[in-house]
């Protein structure tokens, strides 16, 4: 059984981190910008090149995508996007993706 990160009424059951530009797929309740160490002058910013909101299902092709942003999104460190998020593709920075529901 995973740890419940019940924060402010949220029921997160785990988290993964991401850096670089590898896409991640899953059932994410929150996506948070941690920091960006690639550029010391821009350490307080992270960016995404794509985010897909919706409900994740197995097999992945059965997931229900309800919204897509396919342009660059920049967030400051500590800022986050609420889910449910099915897929995301970072373009810079370090991200924390929380599994579970908001």
Q: Please state the separation of Cα 71 from the chain's center in Å.
A: 15
pLDDT, tens digit, for every residue of 45-73? 889 999 999 999 999 889 999 999 999 99
**Domain presence at residue 2:** no
**Domain presence at residue 6:** no
Residues spanned by the domain of 87:
11-22+41-101
22, HSE (Cβ side, Cα atoms, 13 Å)? 10
pLDDT, tens digit, for every residue of 26-39? 899 999 998 766 55
**Domain presence at residue 18:** yes
**Domain presence at residue 77:** yes
Going by C-alpha positions, the residue among 40, 17, 29 that lies closest to residue 99 is: 29
| Number of domains into which the chain is organized | 1
**Domain presence at residue 56:** yes
**Domain presence at residue 71:** yes
Q: Which residue has the tokens 């995404």?
A: 48
Q: Give the global pTM.
A: 0.78
């Amino acid at each position: 059984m995973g740890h419940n990160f019940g924060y402010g009424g949220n029921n997160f059951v785990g988290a993964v981190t991401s850096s670089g530009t590898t896409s991640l797929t899953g059932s994410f309740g929150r996506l948070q910008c941690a920091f960006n160490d690639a550029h010391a002058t821009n350490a307080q910013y992270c960016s995404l090149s794509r985010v897909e909101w919706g409900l994740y299902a197995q097999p992945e092709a059965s997931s229900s995508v309800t919204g897509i942003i396919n342009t660059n999104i920049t967030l400051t460190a500590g800022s986050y996007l609420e889910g449910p998020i099915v897929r995301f593709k970072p373009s810079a920075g370090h991200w924390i993706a929380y599994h579970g529901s908001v």
